[in-house]
Chain A
C-alpha cells in the first residue's frame, strides 16, 4: 500500500513539475543604474602629490599611516589599497620622455572602480554588497559573514580584509564617499581636494562625453580610449591617459559584465526551484516503480 502511494506521489510530482517548467529562462539583463555618478581621472594631469590619499584617510577616519602623506618616497614601490588605505597613487615610467629627455613619470590612482554590474555584488552570499542608484558599490557590515567571495570575484582585486581581527573583521574598500555624495553638491574626498583637477566628479554619462571631448581636442596627446567605458560592462570610475593603459598597471579585461554567466546558470536552473522539484519527482517515480516491482516479487 505504502509503496503504491509512493509511486503515485512521484508520478504526480513529475507530471506537475514538467508542466510548470519555466519559460522565464531569458537572456541575462544588466542591472546597472541608468544615471550613476562617476569620477573621471586624467592621468595626464596627476602630479602624484598624494593629497587625495590624505583626504580619503581623513574623511573615512582611517588610522594614521606609518609614513606621512607628504613623503613621496613611498612611490618608489607599487602599492595596493588595503584594509586601512582605500586609495593609493602608484608611479610608473612607461617610457615617455619629458622636455629635457628624461623619463617622465605617470601617476595612477587606484581605488574601487564601482562597476556598473559588479561581480562582488552578484557573488555576495548575503547581499551585503549592493550597487546603489548613485553609482556606489555599498558595503553593509551588518550582513557580512566574511566569506570573502567578493574578493575572489573582483576582477580589479580591490576588496581588502581585516585578517588580523579574530572575531569581527570587515571587508574594506573605497566607499565612493557614499554619505558625502548622497548630499546635494557633495563630492568624494579625493575629488574635492585634488589641486590639479585630475579627478572630475559628476554624472557618469556626462563624464564619458567630457572624456571623449578631451581626447578629440588633443588627439596627439591622449590615447583614444576611455578605460572603464566598456571594461567588465562599464565602471563608474573612468580614466583617460597619454600612455597605453596596460603599461601603467591596468588590466586588459573583457567587455562582458562578470556576473552574466553565473546569474544565467543560477536563474535558468533554479528559478522557482523547478529543476530540483522535477528531479525529486522523477526520482520519486523511479523509487515507486522499483519498490512496487519488488513488492510483487516478494508476494
Chain B
C-alpha cells in the first residue's frame, strides 16, 4: 500500500486556530459560572425540560458523529479491506476526541459532576442510560488504547512506557478493535432506547419502539459521510491531496447503508400512521421534513450518481447533508420532539448552553490540529508533491 501516515508540516498558529482558542476561552468562562452559581445560571433547563442541547447535541449527536471510528475499523481491520486504512487513523482520532468530549459534556450536564463514577458501583440494569454510560466509559478507554501505536510511533523513544505498551498491544490489538465495534453497536442503539420510556412526551413523528434500531442504522449510515467531511476539511485546510481514491468507494457503501436507514425510517412512519401530522405546518413537522428530506432522501439520491461520488465538491456537500441530517435527527428526538405536558414556555437553549457547545466543538478541532501536527495521523501527501 502507498499510504504512510506522517505528521503535517504546516504552521500551527493560523487565524483558524486563534478563533478556536477564543471560543474555548468563552466556554471556560461559562463553566466557571456554572460551577459557581449552578446550572440555572447558564442554562434554560428547568423542571419541564430537564434535558437541552448539551444532551441532544453534545452527547447524542456527538456519539453519532463519532461513528466514523468503528465503521472504518470494521471495514479496514475486520473485513480486511486494508485499502481503507488511510482513513482509519483520522477517523480513530475524531472518535477518540469526540467521545472524550461526550464524557466531558455529560459531566458538565449532570448536577453532581463529582459523582460520575457512581453508576459503576450502583447499577440499574433496567436503565438504558446505565448501559450507555458503561459502554461510553469502556469505549473511550478502548479508543485511546487503539491510538497508542500512533503516539508510540512518535514518542516511543522518549517515553519507554509507550513503546512497551505498543509492543504488548501488537498481539492483542484485534481484541480492542472488535470490542470497539461491539461497544459501539450497543450504545449507539441504546441511546435510541432512552426516550422510549416516555411515550406521552415524545411527538409521534419520532416516537417508536424501534428508535434503537433507527439510531443504530443511522449511526452505520453516518460513519463514512463523516469520514468524507472530516477528511475533506482537513486536507483542504492543510492543503493536502484530497484522498478521493478512498472517499469515492466509501460513499458507494454509504448508498447501501443510508438506503437501509431510509427504508426503515420511512417504513416505520408509514406503518404507524404518524405521517398524517406531517403537513400540519408545525415546527415539529417542519423539523421532521428537513431532517428526512434534506438529510436522508436527497443526499441518498445524489449519491446514486457516479458524477457526485467522484466530484470532491459535490461529494463533500452530499456527505455534509447526511451528517447534518443525523445531527438534526438526534436534536429532534431529544429536544424538538419533547413535549412537556405542563410547560408554559417552550425550551430554547440559553447563551451559556450555546457557548459551551460551540466551545466543545472548537476544542475538538483545536486538538485534532494539535494531533495531526505532531503525530502521524494523516496519510495524504502535500499537494506540491506529485505522486
Q: Is the CB of A125 within 8 A of B126?
A: no
For A146, give its contact among B111, B130, B190 (CB under 8 Å).
B111
Q: Is the CB of B197 within 8 A of A146?
A: no
- Chain A residues 248 to 299 lying within 8 A of chain B, measured CB to CB, are 251, 253-254, 258-259, 261-263, 265-267, 270, 276, 279-280, 283-284, 286-287, 290-291, 293-294
Q: Answer whether residue B51 sits at the interface, using C-beta atoms and an 8 A cutoff.
A: yes
Q: Is the CB of A147 within 8 A of B122?
A: no
Q: Answer whether residue A164 sits at the interface, using C-beta atoms and an 8 A cutoff.
A: yes
Kindly count the residue-residue contacts between A and B in the assembled complex, taking CB atoms under 8 Å apart.
Answer: 190
For B171, give its contact among A2, A147, A262, A280 (CB under 8 Å).
A2
Closest CB-CB distance, A255 to chain B, in whole Å? Answer: 12
* A residues in contact with B174, CB < 8 Å: 6, 284, 287
Q: Is the CB of A258 within 8 A of B199?
A: yes
For B111, give its contact among A169, A261, A276 (CB under 8 Å).
A169
* B residues in contact with A164, CB < 8 Å: 37-38, 40-41
Q: Is the CB of A145 within 8 A of B195?
A: no
* B contacts with A, residue count (CB < 8 A): 69
As a 0/1 sequence over residues 127 to 163 of chain A, the CB contacts with chain B under 8 angstroms (1 = contact) are 1100000000000000111111101110101011111
Q: Is the CB of B199 within 8 A of A157?
A: no
Q: Is the CB of B80 within 8 A of A283?
A: no
* A residues in contact with B131, CB < 8 Å: 266, 270
* B residues in contact with A83, CB < 8 Å: 47
Q: Is the CB of B40 within 8 A of A163?
A: yes
Please indicate which of the listed interface residues B50, B114, B125, B171 has the most CB atoms of chain A within 10 Å of its own CB.
B50
Q: Answer whether residue B185 sits at the interface, using C-beta atoms and an 8 A cutoff.
A: yes
CA distance A290 to B82 in the complex (A): 11
Q: Is the CB of B118 within 8 A of A126?
A: yes
As a 0/1 sequence over residues 95 to 130 of chain B, the CB contacts with chain A under 8 angstroms (1 = contact) are 000000000001001111111101100111111111
Known contacts A148-B111, A163-B46: A287-B116 contact under CB 8 Å:
no
* B residues in contact with A128, CB < 8 Å: 122
CA distance A258 to B77 in the complex (A): 41
Closest CB-CB distance, A202 to chain B, in whole Å? Answer: 28
Closest CB-CB distance, B319 to chain A, in whole Å? Answer: 26
* A residues in contact with B51, CB < 8 Å: 148, 152
Q: Is the CB of B50 within 8 A of A152?
A: yes
Consensus secondary structure, chain B interface: helix
Closest CB-CB distance, A51 to chain B, in whole Å? Answer: 24
For A82, give its contact among B39, B41, B47, B209 (CB under 8 Å).
B47
Q: Answer whether residue A168 sits at the interface, using C-beta atoms and an 8 A cutoff.
A: yes
Closest to B43 in A: A163
* B residues in contact with A80, CB < 8 Å: 47, 342
Segment of A59-67, A116-124, A205-213 in the binding face: A116-124
Please indicate which of the listed interface residues A147, A151, A284, A287 has the most CB atoms of chain B within 10 Å of its own CB.
A147
Q: Is the CB of A253 within 8 A of B200?
A: yes
For A126, give its contact among B45, B46, B119 (CB under 8 Å).
B119
Q: Is the CB of B111 within 8 A of A127?
A: no
Q: Answer whether residue B179 sits at the interface, using C-beta atoms and an 8 A cutoff.
A: yes
* A residues in contact with B122, CB < 8 Å: 126-128, 143
Known contacts A145-B119, A152-B195, then 20 further A-B pairs from the complex at CB < 8 Å, ordered by chain A residue: A119-B197, A125-B124, A143-B118, A145-B110, A145-B115, A148-B45, A148-B111, A149-B50, A157-B48, A157-B341, A162-B111, A163-B38, A164-B40, A168-B112, A261-B199, A266-B127, A266-B131, A270-B125, A283-B182, A293-B80
Mind listing 14 A-B residue pairs with CB under 8 Å?
Answer: A123-B128, A126-B119, A126-B122, A145-B112, A146-B110, A149-B129, A161-B45, A265-B128, A265-B196, A266-B190, A270-B131, A279-B185, A286-B79, A287-B78
> Which 8 A-B pairs give the minimum distances between C-beta atoms?
A146-B111, A290-B80, A163-B40, A151-B50, A148-B50, A126-B122, A169-B111, A127-B124
Residue positions of A touching B, CB distance < 8 A: 2, 6, 80, 82-83, 119, 122-128, 143-149, 151-153, 155, 157, 159-169, 251, 253-254, 258-259, 261-263, 265-267, 270, 276, 279-280, 283-284, 286-287, 290-291, 293-294
